[in-house]
Structure 1
């Protein structure tokens, strides 16, 4: 009889155990820090008095570098997120 009654837990106790387990699980899903490269900002390097065609080329190259960085960082973020989501299953 004691074994039977010992297995009974109140709703509150079961909820507390479930909450603790869920909290532990959620704490393990912390994303790593963003790579330093993802925080870098680009400058065109255009100088006062430069011909407009040169300024346009410099600006276009800077924009290309910035767009490539955004894509790399977004891909990294998606891969990390997918790994965390897979671990949640």
Structure 2
């Protein structure tokens, strides 16, 4: 037998012996348990307020100064809503990473 053949035969037996040590059922059970834990952590629903759309309320024929005031007021509402929703989401995300979300 050539030295190269002996080395290959030894490596083959080492690889085959290693396959016998793997407990496939134990690995599958651990994967299933990890999946169940992650599945229990569901995101809460987004508040309805965060999905609302806003309109400026400007009508055809409004004077320019009135239209600007209406547009400003209309922008304040969605900006406040965006700040509220992003604050809620940031708090949710930080709890999610700590594992506090249920």
Find the counterpart in structure 2 of residue 43 from structure 1: 55
Find the counterpart in structure 2 of residue 5 from structure 1: none
Find the counterpart in structure 1 of residue 93 from structure 2: 81
Hey, what's the Cα distance between the residues in 2 that align with 1:63 and 1:79?
Answer: 24
* Corresponding pairs, count: 80
- Among 40, 46, 50, the alignment partner of 1:34 is 46
Please report the TM-score for the alignment, with normalisation by the length of structure 2.
0.72
Moved over 2 A (4+): none
More off after superposition, 16-25 vs 31-40: 16-25
* Rg larger for: 2
Asked if structure 2 preserves the Cα contact closer than 8 Å seen for 1:31 and 1:81, the reply is no
Please report the TM-score for the alignment, with normalisation by the length of structure 1.
0.81
- Among 28, 46, 54, the alignment partner of 1:16 is 28
Hey, what's the Cα distance between the residues in 2 that align with 1:64 and 1:18?
Answer: 51
Say what the alpha-carbon RMSD is for the aligned residues. Answer: 1.6
Hey, what's the Cα distance between the residues in 2 that align with 1:79 and 1:21?
Answer: 27
**What's the CA shift string for 1:7-60, capped at 9, x where partnerless?**
xx8431121111111101111221100001001111111111010111011111
